[in-house]
Amino acid sequence: MSDISSKFAVGVNPFAKKRSGIADKLIMVVLISCASVAILATIGIVMSLIFETIRFFEQVPITDFLFGTHWSPQTAITAEVVGSSGAFGAVPLITGTLLISFIAMLIATPLGLASAVYLAEFASSRTRSIAKPLLEMLAGIPSVVYGFFAALTIAPFIRNTGATAGFEISSESALAAGIAMGIMVVPLVSSLSDDVINSVPQSLRDASLGMGATHAETVRKVVLPAAVPGIAGSLLLATSSAIGETMIVVMAAGLAANLTLNPFEAVTTVTVQIVTLLTGDQEFDSAKTLSAFALGLFLFVITLILNVIALKIVNHFREQYD
Amino acid sequence: MTNPFSTEAAGLQGRHTSERLFKLSGLAAIIFAIGFLAVMVGSIAWTGSGALRESVIQLTVDLGPDNVDPSDVDGASYRTIVRDALKASFPDVKSRKDRRKLYGLLSPDAALELKQYVRDNPDAVGQVVNVWLLASDDADIYLKGGVDTSLEESQRKFSDAEVSWVDSLTESGQTKRQFNKRFFTNGDSREPELAGILSSLVGSALTLVICFLISFPMGVGAAIYLEEFAKKNRWSEFVEVNINNLAAVPSIVFGLLGLAIFLNFFGLPRSSPLVGGMVLALMTLPTIIIASRASLRAVPPSIREAALGIGASRIQTTFHHVTPLALPGMLTGAIVGMARALGETAPLLMIGMVAFIADVPKGFLDSATALPVQIFLWADAPQRGFLEKTSAAIIVLLLFLVLMNLLAVVLRRKFERRF
Amino acid sequence: MLNNSVESEQKMSEFEKTLDENGPIIQAKGVEVYYGEKQALFGIDIDFQKHQVTSLIGPSGCGKSTFLRCINRMNDLVDIARVEGQVIIENQDIYSKDVDVVALRAHVGMVFQKPNPFPKSIYDNVAYGPRIHKTVTSKDEMDYVVEHSLKRAGLWDEVKDRLQEQGTGLSGGQQQRLCIARAIAIEPKVILMDEPCSALDPIATAVVEELIDELRERFTIIIVTHSMQQAARVSQKTAFFHLGNLVEHGDTDQIFTNPQDDRTENYITGRIG
């Protein structure tokens, strides 16, 4: 008590700004550095990828990498080329990645959208409370499990089906990996689309139902068209995660860098090659090792662009109906 | 009077049918996706359940003085004793090639097992005893019915001779299956019947400890700063954009970061849980920051105003009043993040946690592998015996994931507060 | 093309003839609505005459909107809502089992409180109803219906040069008239309006009110409003709701000048509200 009253003694400003202690300052410094880690991580990623990529392009011309159609980093092109430099044309890897992601989205888009529409528009709250967590579980299962299932069950199934139908399908096919990946991203598509569909205002549904449209007509002709931008955003996010997915393709897609769009053939992807290049014995300065970082940079840039676009679209959509 | 509003009068049958079809297609999509999940997990669990049982073969071994010197029990050649016992059981087998096949019915570890048996039962020395010894993976697969004997002999790995030997052992009651403790107590092995998940499980645990120790305090710190102190300006916006983008970076890119910076630049030990945990921590950070911010936001402003109103400083308010209330939500987010980190494989491949690790890692700097990486390695292994091990390891991994997510749900329920 | 337009014109006039006979088009008998345990409407009995505008007035929460939504069964969309009693339209109880709400709502259109044009072009907004009900098949006929509906909604001159622009880009009053055009494009018998001017400025309100009066020639209109001035301006009949009861209904003039019930008088004079 006496302590407080003394503060109000004549000549002392009782409201004087307390000097913030060293402890307080220290706490703020710690908190700010915690927040900066996210930036440091991004800088770290960009730096490590760019530096190694530059060193790679010192050994292999960038045009060969971006436009070359032959990928075989392990073997020398000709006997005259000294060292271990091989062919570093990334085109087959990029087409392989796109082919598998395309198959995945071909599976995930209808499944995810139809699930989202059903959950958001038709399901009872009981069904919703059961089906939603079950669908989310698909996203919670590690990709190594999907890879194992794709290689062990889906691929032989496709091959046997093909054999009975009379044509030959390789045991590692783009299709098997694409199917597994498609199922894995279904919850991503469905939960994002579910949100988007729910944010379409009820007044639009009322207007349509009020003039005698059936619920399905309302969904098809009013709700979904209104939700298109948001749905497009969710599909882009799903595509980005399919492109960056590694384990499924490592285990089920194969290593052969075929330049093909045939889903029944084995293709390889950017991520598969990164893993292959960096998991053997490696000399750190060889073009072979460095090329993995160039591929990594490519992957980083592509997924970043997709994500930025997707987030922009989704945010714009949200603001529209807020 | 006819009803002008009936379905028939208005000719609406077609529209209602298409409505039903539309609804049905949505339901079908959900059922398909969940059915896929059920088939996948179910078939893996079915295959994996086999790994819980191991086959053993009973042999009559001679531990007489010719074979085991009672004064030097450890010095005896148990390999020879086991082989002699097999030879004695099948005296017809003469050729070297066939004998080698015969020896192959037992695991290479059988000799060690016998040695252990003798150590545990010193009384058995000098006697002829019946002991159960571990069968090899090929014999194990045959005993579990995994060999299709209707196939041409050349089409299968298990020859007719081996089939007849095992059959005759089974007839005389010399084979049985028992609980496979080894799967949970052994590290990795080149022999499927000896391989276990302990080393990778410990590796995963060590990695997650590092991951948690780094990502949780940092994530919470970043969340507190952004939510409670940061002014809305370019800088805080930039941090936010960074966090969102980091959340979407493919996991393998984090592996490249770990390889280039942690291993090559800082020279931290390759294959170690320390580096693995650091890489996974960066990956988990956005999840924890986002969850922590949400749970800070859920603390009503009235709590802050109450504390500030009685003269607490901003820092005191945050740390004494707001953060404790938000902590359960933050922990829930952290557990969900850890569960995701536990299933992560690709970045660990980049930093060399993909080595063959037979021994249980003892510290954060030892070479180690993680459970999902072990699954990847076994899935790649040529021996068929690894098939059920891989599946069983997946089931163990999924069980851990389910447990962690349940823990998160329970935590959320228990501390859920309605302000 | 010309033929089609002429045909449609003929169709319209035939339709008009069928509406010409006088008499009640809608009869509500003992309508009660429950939201779960809570009763929101108590035994409502009221007839609505053809080609008249009826206002439903009363303090907020009195059940006027709830009652309006009973007439085209929009309450079906609320899971916990339960409706008892009868609503008879054209000698048919619309709550009987063999009534298809889709068919019903094609005859009983609705305009909502907040303008809610679809995020489509102005043309597609108006064409929406005819398309889903397949009442119009050819492009020319559709052009005619769209033009005609927009004209009747008094919007044609303002939008005829930008039919392909988004309906959401119009001003609030224009949006509401677009919604009215959308509702009349399928030629309903009855149009329900749920506080159609509450989101509009006074000038836009005046335009819509004028429109309502014109529409009376072809449609029966029931309008919920919280503005007594509006009720007095646009309607021939007025019904006053209070706490879920229909207190009084009759000619608008009579309700406003000579109310029979104290509660009505109190409301009109501003003592409750």
Q: Does the residue A60 lie in any domain?
A: no
Specify the DSSP element, H or E, that contains C51: none
Model confidence at B311, in pLDDT bands (50, 70, 90)?
confident
Q: pTM of the entire structure?
A: 0.88
Model confidence at A319, in pLDDT bands (50, 70, 90)?
confident
Q: Does the residue A47 lie in any domain?
A: no
Cα–Cα distance list, B144 to B46, B183, B266 (Å): 13, 17, 50
Best mutation target among C110, C175, C192, C222 (most A Cβ atoms within 10 Å) is C110
Q: What are phi and psi of C237, to 5 degrees?
A: -120, 150
Could you tell me if C188 and C218 are in contact, meaning their C-beta atoms sit under 8 angstroms apart? no
Q: Given a contact as 3+ CB pairs under 8 Å, which chains touch B?
A: A, C
Cα atoms found within 13 Å of the Cα of residue B240, Cβ hemisphere only: 14
Average pLDDT of the segment spanning B109-116: 88
Q: Does the residue A1 lie in any domain?
A: no
Q: Evaluate if residue A84 carries a pLDDT over 70.
A: no
* Facing C118 at nearest CB: one of A207, A210, A217: A207
* Facing C74 at nearest CB: one of A210, A213, A226: A210
Q: Does the residue C261 lie in any domain?
A: no
Count of domains in chain A?
1
What domains can you pick out in chain B, each with its CATH number? 51-180 (no CATH), 198-415 (1.10.3720.10)
Q: Which residue has the tokens 């009053």?
A: C173
pLDDT tens figures, C63-106:
999 999 999 999 888 888 999 999 999 888 999 988 999 999 99
pLDDT tens figures, B331-343:
999 999 999 999 9
Best mutation target among B233, B336, B345, B354 (most A Cβ atoms within 10 Å) is B345
Nearest CA in chain B to C99: B6
Q: Is the four-CA dihedral B65, B69, B74, B76 of positive or negative sign?
A: negative
Q: Does the residue A215 lie in any domain?
A: yes
| CATH number, domain containing residue C39 | 3.40.50.300
Q: Does the residue A27 lie in any domain?
A: no
Terminal Cα distance for chain B, rounded: 59
Question: Which residues on B lie below 8 Å from A252 (Cβ)?
Answer: none
Whole domain around residue A207: which residue ranges? 87-321
C12 residue type, one letter: M
The size of the A-C interface in CB pairs under 8 A is 68
Model confidence at A306, in pLDDT bands (50, 70, 90)?
very high
Question: Which residues on B lie below 8 Å from C98 (Cβ)?
Answer: 3, 6-7
* Facing B7 at nearest CB: one of C91, C96, C100: C100
Question: Which residues on B lie below 8 Å from C76 (Cβ)?
Answer: none
Question: Which residues on B lie below 8 Å from A223 (Cβ)?
Answer: none
Model confidence at A80, in pLDDT bands (50, 70, 90)?
very low
To the nearest whole Å, the CA of A31 is away from the closest chain B CA by 5
Q: Does the residue C271 lie in any domain?
A: no
3-state secondary structure of A120: helix
Q: What are phi and psi of C30, to 5 degrees?
A: 60, 45
> pLDDT over 70 for what percent of chain B?
99
Average pLDDT of the segment spanning B71-77: 82
User: Would the CB atoms of A214 and C104 count as touching at under 8 Å?
Assistant: no
Q: Does the residue A62 lie in any domain?
A: no
User: Would the CB atoms of A250 and B376 count as touching at under 8 Å?
Assistant: yes
* Distance separating alpha carbons of residues A94 and B354, to the nearest angstrom: 26
Q: Evaluate if residue B7 carries a pLDDT over 60.
A: yes
Rg (CA), chain B: 31
Whole domain around residue C80: which residue ranges? 2-246
Q: Does the residue A36 lie in any domain?
A: no
Whole-complex ipTM:
0.91
Count of domains in chain C?
1
Q: How many residues does chain C have?
A: 273
Q: Does the residue C52 lie in any domain?
A: yes
What pLDDT, on the 0 to 100 scale, is given for residue A6?
A: 52
* Facing B6 at nearest CB: one of C90, C99, C106: C99
pLDDT tens figures, A216-259:
999 999 999 999 999 999 999 999 999 999 999 999 987 878 88
Model confidence at B127, in pLDDT bands (50, 70, 90)?
confident
- Hey, is the C-beta of B419 within 8 angstroms of any chain C C-beta? no
Question: Which residues on B lie below 8 Å from A220 (Cβ)?
Answer: 22
User: Would the CB atoms of C98 and B1 count as touching at under 8 Å?
Assistant: no
Q: Evaluate if residue C21 carries a pLDDT over 70.
A: no
> pLDDT over 90 for what percent of chain B?
43
What pLDDT, on the 0 to 100 scale, is given for residue B111?
A: 87
3-state secondary structure of C93: strand
Q: Does the residue C56 lie in any domain?
A: yes
Contacts of A114 (CB under 8 A, 6+ apart): B25, B26, B28, B29, B30
Q: Evaluate if residue B15 carries a pLDDT over 60.
A: yes
- Reading phi first (left if > 0) and then psi (alpha if -120 to 50, else beta), residue C23 is in left
User: Would the CB atoms of A222 and C118 count as touching at under 8 Å?
Assistant: yes
| CATH number, domain containing residue A94 | 1.10.3720.10
Question: Which residues on B lie below 8 Å from A152 (Cβ)?
Answer: 379, 387
- Burial bucket for residue C198 (CB in 10 Å: 0-12, 13-18, 19+): middle
User: Would the CB atoms of C110 and A206 count as touching at under 8 Å?
Assistant: yes
* Alpha helices per DSSP H over A118-166: 125-140, 143-149, 155-165
Q: Does the residue A195 lie in any domain?
A: yes
Model confidence at A318, in pLDDT bands (50, 70, 90)?
confident
